[in-house]
Amino acid sequence: MLLYSTVLETRDIAEDDFIRLVIRCNQENPYPENVIRNLKWNGERNVRYGDDDLWLEIAELKEERIIAVRYEKKSANGAVWDTDYVMDFAANRISIQLERSYTEGASLDNQRFTTPHFISMLISSGYLADDNGLPVLNAELEASKKNAATLVSAVTFEQSYRLPVVYISKRDGKKLPFDVRMLCSRLKGNAHVIVARNRKFSKKTSEKYGCVLERNGDAGVYFPNGTHMRIPAGRKTDERIAAEVLKYMALQKLPELCTWQGVANALMIERIGEQKEEVRKALLEKEKAEGEIREYFDEFDADNEKLKLRIEELMQRNTRLEAEVNGLRTRLSSSGQVPVLFGGKETDLYPGEISEMVLDAVSDGLERTRGEGRRADVYGDILQSNGYANLRRKRQAEVKRIFTGYRVMTGSTKKDLEELGITVTGDGKHYKLAYYGDPRYVRAISKTGSDRREGANIAAVINATMM
């Protein structure tokens, strides 16, 4: 499960300085159980430190000028924590992701996570570039007369920002309704948190600039996609703000080479290509040697004794080259890094989507075999080895549930659809349903159900075209 995701623009960072900063983040961790012992880095690339339960790996795509680092920890309760840092030095851009999964038989304790401390280290080192004039901080910005125009440009969407903007009004005097410092710590690298100077600030600024700012302790979240969410003041206002911002950022689709898996896949393909080139060169050398053998047989009458010796020498050489070719072929065919299938240009709209679709097809094939024959054994082995979770069918069942008895689009229905990656927008007499913002998967439905079959028909269309 992806818990935290962000992409930040950076100032110039030397490659070695970036790696040193990641390693220092681990070595200075206040919890000894998180520190990889005896980690001594001497400038290596494509190297791994630690053991199966606690490790750090550095991967480099040299031509693309990309370095990715993954830190993984397996907890005693079976939780697996992966923190990824992918730095694109050509674009001066860094992506940071925190993911949690579980091993078989793990205790699902829903442990609360903390935002990667590495972001604070980037901020304190001065490595992060501003977001269209707004600094990326791990603390709040106070809204005042001096910067009121900047705040207004954000809440009216006159100025676009890469990160969401959170505005927090004050209720009584200068008192805040919750711990803003803690909220800033959770949202560092994910949002700009701006706090009103005092209770009257929202009213005065709204009147001056002709906008509507939140008041009386309410908070507003202004997303880069142009949407706005007002969160009323209350006991859990800060938790709602954090949840909405983190969810929005985690749903943003990243370029493949901004992720650890994308870099790892590209590196694997690169290594396979190198192995193929080794085989090709060995085959050419073998053909060359065989040509020399034939040439000396044609000149047999010149010097029979010398020819025999030369032939013997060349045949020994040919034997060695054949052994080398066979060894390289064995390495290539038996490499555990070569997948059963290579992916195409399509990428996951949600984690594991494409893998589940392929496994669905294998599962359907297994059912058709009725559990008999070679196909049944192979299909069953693939499903067992890949942890088939039947996610697509579960999502299809959820779509059917949402539209059971459908008459009108309620707020609850929209929320349930958004959790499946389906956004709902109004368009005249119809709603437009978009799947993860992909223009290929947009469908229109009526705003009012015409009969009792309306919901079932909509669910069938969604499941057929989007799932």
- pLDDT tens string, the chain, 467 residues long: the values are 999 999 999 999 999 999 999 999 999 999 999 999 999 999 999 999 999 999 999 999 999 999 999 999 999 888 999 999 999 999 999 999 999 998 887 766 666 788 999 999 999 999 999 999 999 999 999 998 889 999 999 999 999 999 999 999 998 766 777 899 999 999 999 999 999 988 899 999 999 999 999 998 999 999 999 999 999 998 899 999 999 999 999 999 999 999 999 999 999 998 888 888 888 888 888 888 888 777 766 675 676 777 677 766 765 665 565 555 555 554 444 444 445 676 778 888 888 888 888 998 999 899 999 889 999 999 999 988 887 888 888 899 999 999 998 888 888 999 999 999 999 998 778 889 999 988 999 998 888 766 778 889 999 999 898 88
Residue 407 confidence (pLDDT): 85
Residue 389 confidence (pLDDT): 82
Residue 326 confidence (pLDDT): 52
How is residue 81 annotated by DSSP? E
The DSSP element (H or E) to which 192 belongs, if any, is strand 192-196
Give the HSE-up count for residue 451: Cα atoms under 13 Å, Cβ half-sphere: 2
Q: Integer distance in angstroms from the first to the last C-alpha of the chain?
A: 19
| pLDDT tens figures, 219-238 | 999 999 999 999 999 889 99
* C-alpha to C-alpha distance for 443 and 434, rounded to whole angstroms: 7
Residue 340 confidence (pLDDT): 64
Strand, coil or helix: 457: helix
Topology of domain 2-124 in CATH is TBP-like (3.30.2030)
CA angle at 77 for the pair 76 and 78, rounded to the nearest 5°: 90
* C-alpha to C-alpha distance for 169 and 294, rounded to whole angstroms: 89
Q: Determine the CATH number of domain 141-254.
A: 3.40.30.10
Q: Among 118, 125, 127, which Cα is nearest to 98's?
A: 118
Chain centre to alpha carbon of residue 365:
30
Residue 351 confidence (pLDDT): 81
Q: Where are the domains of the chain?
A: 2-124, 141-254, 259-334, 391-465
